[in-house]
A and B are shown apart, each in its own frame.
Chain A
């Protein structure tokens, strides 16, 4: 699985279709095999499945596609793109272009999505929290969490915490545990604190190119102020964007996801994993750590290093893992999607997890604890399955909780 190639971002928004015209160029290679539609977990609910949408765009039926529900149901799980025999960039090329056409035209957006975009413009996070409070979680971490601007020296590791791990209550708890793990490993790390802003993955995939450009400019300006050896990231979406998209726009950094960073230090970690957890665990490959960046083994290595854990696989795992249904800004489109889709992807995924007999579903993406815990309740599995971040499991075994 190679790196994802994403079309360059236009310098200025044009009228409705230049982006699609550019996509059209590529999509002439489409052989209409339908693998994308057959692989798409949302295809059934779309007015026009990906294959059909491509065909219609090539026939010039732009308005029909742009005005259908198709652009807004793609969860950017990337299954279509990795399976496409013509190597077409469907979920991260065609769909953001369709959405960008809707946004650039000033057409009415879903209210929840509009609010998230406006908040990100004003405050640098989709929840609408004050940027001043971004590092508030660190006050109760129990270990020092230095802010790089206050350190006034280069650090080894810059940890980009990102929005959910900074503001969402469960995410904050996981951030505190990660701070303790980094501390226990003696890592010289710092965070950006109030200077950190959303890196823009959801905004880009939602078609808000202008907002994405604004965030990129600001983030590169901030990151270039400081000296660090590498960046680690808690959020796979942002990690993918920083690794794959920022370099073309002038932001070149040595970056890896937290799970890969910790897996590199497995020898150091293993003696600290003292407490036996005695649980059967199944691991959910998130789309951004899995199909988009091919980090399949590091999360499993970390889990298997925990004493007492038996790792079992769901029927769809690794490259064929089923998305939680929250990528590409669809985390803000839950209501819109729920009105149009019978079975939510998160619910379907929980059914797969319980079928393994596991008591714990391990995750490594900050969107997922809340999404899957909700799905556990919705599918009536409360008390039978718990959702835990790998960081939570490691911290428990390290007796840092």
Chain B
């Protein structure tokens, strides 16, 4: 079985993000990039499938920031091949562009499963998996939290999350694209010594891809959440604040 994992990097919020002088984009100098969290889960799910069904796992990532580090981490965790896709642009493209890029890279390759994180913090629209499946003419299931192979590599049973704590189990014909919400277990730890060995020795394969022209939304204004707006700040001793919280909740009949 062959599994492709599609990953991208997103700004690391721990390091803080600044808005550039145009007021419409993030200042690239303020950012350090890390692997998108749900892509990390997609990789973990692929590695679990590899352990259960001897799959081959190939990771593809768009060229952004410290992408080599996260591709080396994928190799250290057990991926069989990693590919860096060079588009000549080192900021993350829109999901529409990313879907076209990944489609052009995957076209003609044979994968039974294509896994990607269901969404990323930089766009939150969760559209990459669906768009890619459309371009590749494959079925798509998003918000997946468990994947099990049935009937060899012809079918998979996946668990998809719904609001309100519900989940559905559904069969999907392979090959298919899955948007991973969370892997069955938290992403595994890579011992730093192994990671550093891989970083020294591994060759990250590179592939060129053209940046496609896509329709995109135009950003009018990018701004940080305005602190305090729409909020009532409580003050006093912890006991006084606790009493105020209780009366606010009971006034709204949220507690009895």
Interface residues of A (CB under 8 A from B): 12-13, 103-104, 106, 108-109, 111, 114, 117-118, 121-123, 128-130, 132, 208-211, 213-214
For A203, give the chain B residue with the smallest CB separation: B192
Q: Would you call A208 and B192 a contact (CB within 8 A)? A: yes
When the two chains form the complex, which single residue of B12, B14, B186, B193 contacts A210, counting CB atoms closer than 8 Å? B193
The residue that B192 contacts in the complex, of A111, A128, A129, A214, with Cβ under 8 A, is A214
Complex contact B188–A132 (CB within 8 A): no
User: Quick one: given A12-B197, A132-B15, A132-B16, are A210 and B188 in contact (CB under 8 Å)?
Assistant: no
Give 1 or 0 for each of B153-191: 1 = CB within 8 Å of chain A CB.
000000000000000000000000000000001101111
**B34–A210 touching, CB < 8 Å:** no
Chain B contacts of A132 at CB under 8 A? 15-16
Measured between beta carbons, the chain A residues less than 8 angstroms from B186 are 111, 114
A121 near B192 with CB under 8 A, answer: yes
When A106-B188, A108-B185, A111-B186 are in contact, do A130 and B16 touch as well, CB less than 8 Å? Answer: yes
B34 adjacent to A109 (CB under 8 Å): no
B196-212 vs A: 1/0 string, CB under 8 Å? 11000000000000000
List 4 tightest A-B contacts by C-beta distance, closest first: A210-B193, A210-B192, A211-B192, A13-B193
B-side contacts of A109, CB under 8 Å: 189
B binding-site residues for A, Cβ under 8 Å:
12, 14-16, 34, 77, 185-186, 188-197
Contact in complex: B15, A106 (CB < 8 Å): no
Q: How many A-B residue pairs have CB under 8 A?
A: 54
**Considering the chains assembled together, what is the distance between the CA atoms of A345 and B191 in angstroms?**
30
| Dominant SS among interface residues on chain A | helix
Shortest Cβ distance from B192 into A: residue: A210
With A13-B191, A210-B194 given, can you name 19 additional A-B contacts, CB distance below 8 Å? A13-B193, A13-B197, A104-B191, A104-B193, A104-B194, A106-B190, A106-B194, A117-B189, A130-B14, A130-B15, A130-B16, A132-B15, A208-B192, A210-B191, A210-B192, A210-B196, A211-B192, A213-B192, A213-B193
**Closest CB-CB distance, A62 to chain B, in whole Å?**
18
- Which residues from A are CB-within-8-Å of B189? 103, 106, 108-109, 114, 117-118
Distance (Å) between the CB of B88 and the closest chain A CB?
A: 28
Whole-angstrom CA separation of A211 from B191 in the bound complex: 8
Q: How far is the CA of A237 from the CA of B79 in the complex (A)?
A: 37
Quick one: closest B residue to A121, CB to CB?
Answer: B192
How far does the Cβ of B216 sit from chain A's closest Cβ, in whole Å? 31
